[in-house]
Amino acid sequence: MSWKVQSNATDINTLLLEESLFFNGNGYIGIRGNLEEGLPKHAKTIRGSYINGFHDIVDIPYGEKLFAFPEKQQKLLNIIDAQGIEIWVGEDNYREKVSLHSGEVLDYTRILHLDKGITERVLHWKSNKGYELIVNFKRLVSFHTRELFHQFITLTPVSKDIPIQIVSSVNGDVKNFADKDDPRVASDDEKRLSISNLSWTDESSFVEVQTKSSKLHAAVLSTVSVSSESISYRYEINDGASIQTIMKMILNKEMTLDKRTFIADSTRYEDLQGSLLAINNKTASLSFSELAKLQQEYMASFWNKTDVTIDGEDQIQEAIRFNLYHLLQSAGQDGKTSIAAKGLSGEGYEGHYFWDTEIYLLPMFTMTNPELARKLLHYRYSILDSARERAKEMGHKKGALYPWRTIIGTECSSYYPAGTAQYHISADIAYSYVQYYLATNDKSFLKDFGTEVLLETARLWLEVGHYQHNEFRIDAVTGPDEYTAIVNNNYYTNVMAKYNLQWAHKFSLLIQEEDPIYWQTLKNKLSLDDSELERFLSAANAMYLPMDKTLNINPQDDTFLQKEKWDFEGTPTEHYPLLLHYHPLTIYRYQVCKQADTVLAHFLVEDEQSEYVMKASYNYYEKVTTHDSSLSSCVYSMMGARVGYLDKAYDYFIETARLDLDNIQGNTKDGLHMANMGGTWMAIVAGFAGMRLKENGLYFRPQLPKQWDGYAFHIQYHGQLLMIRNQKDSFIVELLSGDQVDLYIWDKKYTITTDNSLVITN
């Protein structure tokens, strides 16, 4: 049920979208779903292959550059294109290319196999001269061999004795896509790669490139083999930039082509050519079917821990699995990389990592695949020194200020009101560390890197904040809502800073008890004294959280409620998103939210406010939120369920579930919206099931939308696997592995064992 995403589209515009929707990745490499044969020359396409974290350094231009503005930024690069496989039919004097836009397409289907981890295209095609054949294209990016992009093509003749010429290409002459009219896409289209090595043998083609400024190298080793007995091969180099392997044969029975492309970069390997040859040799004995079986086994393991089932709506079932699948494909798994805003599906936001990872993406991995979550958390630790340096650049003596957008740790955001001013990212990262600990009880995590990150992020708040009238206040920051910038006492920032400070103190107590020798070593390393820990607690206890007693809501900041409300009725539909049609200062002067801000804070730290205040805040901010950000609707879905608006929660969930599949925001071509994909999982698990991780245990507040007959999902808690099911007549919790779990359902405590499942009749 719903394990396939299928399309029969052949029009140019839809094929552009499908380059994102059908991308293949494994957290290390990502290959957009381009057609092997390419598109007509006039067609718009973003042909892309990426390595997670592979970047160049580009200058940031300013009209007026002030102190501590970042001078350079990192930019994810589109690397060597090895997707190309052209199939030509006919004799030397007249050949036709097998294509969706030539000859006669008798039938065409494209399938993303979510359970198998492969994509497939089946084309039944007839040439103008009457040659007829069926071509089956399969491709995967391997979870077994992370450097491998594998294409496998089966050609089946329908007519007799078809003259075939196949051209397999590896092209190093590539550059990034640019759109000067959209700030979410890079405007710099300068070519930033040069070829440093191009060679071939009878067994393989090799292309190596070097970046212009960072001097990083990336390389591709490609092999091609054909099952036909009578075949001729030759190699050609075009413009010193691409290698073509040209094969000729007569197709009179089913034939297969196996193309293996091994991709690597110099941040992981020193000798790229030697390393890729060795990896090729290691997998040479494995057939495509064997590698596909290994891929399917990996996916089965993932789905056994991660699958979410929806009873009653097939389109939603398809969407949730689609979203989870692409989250897996985009998640860095080496502790040195993270999840970019567009994953590895495209170049939107230049491949940068944002706060999205910690607040929207990590929850799913933390609760289903904690070993992968730990690696994503380690990435932030790997750039801690850069965060310390950034704090000093910003005038702070101590602490860690994480960059708003980055790849290798330095700030890449040139627009500081909606970039560097979002200090909350340091608290967001700390929050994700705490949530991981609460979910796993992983004490080694505290010692390996968790405590150090909590302490350094907590230090930042003592530097940024100040006391006034015995209250701790934080001035001149920007919260998640980027339509309101540089404000005092943003509620979200303050409450998250409070959480950060409290848990830094708690982590210090935990590690003192767990390993006092390590604790002393860490104190010495950080020049930390006990009085500083007490100041953490004092600041947290005195944290000012704005409150409007007339409206009974938490104001988004000190001045938000003083502003005039945006004229929503007078704003044309085509003027959304506002950021593309109005100057930032215009937007800043009004009560208008791009996305959930205070409402998001109520979700993350709900115990700070009463049910009444959370509901009143929801009612107020919903009226002034445009949801111009894909990060917004899922939050309003989760909090809608939390405050008793189940129908609204469902409506917001529908907006978020198929955001990319239905191209709701109109920019899926630039890459998938990863945070929104994580938000769909959260909207079900934290929204409709009401799951919360708290210091004293695991909580649920299950509800069932009337449109569904039920839903089910898996989570891991303290190393134990749970199955949660909510049906029309009952709520069921089963312990599939482990000894015993205590949890709370609607604040009532229950104990579950493997022999004693929990069944609550609705």
Q: Is residue 560 over pLDDT 60? A: yes
Identify the DSSP state of 449. I
Q: Is residue 181 over pLDDT 90? A: no
What average pLDDT does range 730-745 have in this prediction?
Answer: 95
What average pLDDT does range 366-390 have in this prediction?
Answer: 98
The structure tokens listed for 280 are 């090729």
pLDDT of residue 204: 92
What residue ranges in 192-349 does DSSP mark as E strands?
193-200, 205-211, 217-226, 232-238, 242-251, 255-265, 308-311
The structure tokens listed for 575 are 């003027």
Task: For residue 601, give the nearest of 572, 635, 576 by alpha carbon.
Answer: 635
pLDDT of residue 709: 96
Q: What does the alpha-carbon distance between residue 229 and residue 231 come to, in Å, rounded to a whole number?
A: 6
Please say whether the beta carbons of 320 and 680 come within 8 A.
yes
pLDDT of residue 185: 59
Place of tokens 């007839």: 126
pLDDT of residue 329: 98
Q: Count CB neighbours of 23 within 10 A.
A: 28
pLDDT of residue 730: 95
Where does residue 227 rank: exposed (0-12), middle (13-18), buried (19+ CB within 10 A)? middle
Q: What does the alpha-carbon distance between residue 263 and residue 692 come to, in Å, rounded to a whole number?
A: 40
What average pLDDT does range 555-571 have in this prediction?
Answer: 97
User: Which CATH architecture describes the domain 692-762?
Assistant: Sandwich (2.60)
Q: Is residue 257 over pLDDT 90? A: yes
pLDDT of residue 1: 59
Q: Is residue 184 over pLDDT 80? A: no
pLDDT in tens, 129-157: 999 999 999 999 999 999 999 999 999 99
What average pLDDT does range 1-21 have in this prediction?
Answer: 94
Percent of the chain with pLDDT strictly greater than 70: 99
Q: Is residue 2 over pLDDT 90? A: no
Q: What does the alpha-carbon distance between residue 52 and residue 343 come to, in Å, rounded to a whole number?
A: 8
Give Cα separations from 623 to 614, 615, 617 (angstroms): 15, 13, 10
pLDDT in tens, 431-461: 999 999 999 999 999 999 999 999 999 999 9
pLDDT in tens, 60-81: 999 899 999 999 999 999 999 9
Q: Is residue 180 over pLDDT 70? A: no
User: Topology of domain 307-688, per CATH?
Assistant: Glycosyltransferase (1.50.10)
Domain residue ranges in the chain: 4-277+285-302, 307-688, 692-762
- 695 catalytic, yes or no? no
Torsion (CA) 413, 414, 416, 417 in degrees, nearest 10: -100
Q: What does the alpha-carbon distance between residue 475 and residue 459 come to, in Å, rounded to a whole number?
A: 16
pLDDT of residue 426: 98
Q: What does the alpha-carbon distance between residue 527 and residue 524 come to, in Å, rounded to a whole number?
A: 5
Please, where are the H alpha helices in 542-610? 584-588, 598-604
What average pLDDT does range 329-354 have in this prediction?
Answer: 96
Q: Is residue 188 over pLDDT 80? A: no
Task: For residue 233, give the nearest of 245, 242, 224 by alpha carbon.
Answer: 245
φ and ψ at residue 598, rounded to 5 degrees? -60, -40
What's the length of the chain? 762
pLDDT of residue 762: 79
Q: What does the alpha-carbon distance between residue 627 and residue 615 come to, in Å, rounded to a whole number?
A: 19
Q: Is residue 634 over pLDDT 90? A: yes
The two counts, helices (H) then strands (E), for the chain are 20, 32
Cα Rg for the chain, rounded, in angstroms?
27
User: Topology of domain 4-277+285-302, per CATH?
Assistant: Beta-galactosidase; Chain A, domain 5 (2.70.98)
Percent of the chain with pLDDT strictly greater than 90: 93
Q: Is residue 238 over pLDDT 90? A: no
Vertex 83 angle, CA 82 and 86, to 5°: 115
Residue 183 pLDDT grade (very low, low, confident, very high; cuts 50, 70, 90): low
Give Cα separations from 6 to 319, 362, 452 (angstroms): 12, 28, 47
Where does residue 240 rank: exposed (0-12), middle (13-18), buried (19+ CB within 10 A)? exposed
Task: For residue 141, give the nearest of 77, 48, 239, 76 by alpha carbon.
Answer: 48
The structure tokens listed for 686 are 């934290």
Residue 536, classed as helix, strand or coil, is helix
Task: Check 86, 482, 608, 655 and give the catalytic one.
Answer: 482
Identify the DSSP state of 395. T
Residue 722 pLDDT grade (very low, low, confident, very high; cuts 50, 70, 90): very high
Task: For residue 643, give the nearest of 624, 670, 621 by alpha carbon.
Answer: 621
pLDDT of residue 202: 81
pLDDT of residue 233: 84
- DSSP H or E stretch at residue 374: helix 370-382
Q: What is the largest CA-CA distance in the chain?
A: 90
Q: Is residue 641 over pLDDT 70? A: yes
Peptide bond into 577 cis (omega under 30): yes
Q: What does the alpha-carbon distance between residue 340 and residue 76 come to, in Å, rounded to a whole number?
A: 10
The structure tokens listed for 239 are 């413009």
DSSP states of 561-573 as a string?
GGSEEP-STTS-G
Residue 295 pLDDT grade (very low, low, confident, very high; cuts 50, 70, 90): very high
Place of tokens 């609707």: 633
pLDDT in tens, 415-436: 999 999 999 999 999 999 999 9
pLDDT in tens, 465-512: 999 999 999 999 999 999 999 999 999 999 999 999 999 999 999 999
pLDDT of residue 69: 95
Q: Is residue 584 over pLDDT 70? A: yes
pLDDT of residue 186: 55
pLDDT in tens, 76-95: 999 999 999 999 999 888 99
- Looking at every residue in the chain, the average pLDDT score rounds to 96
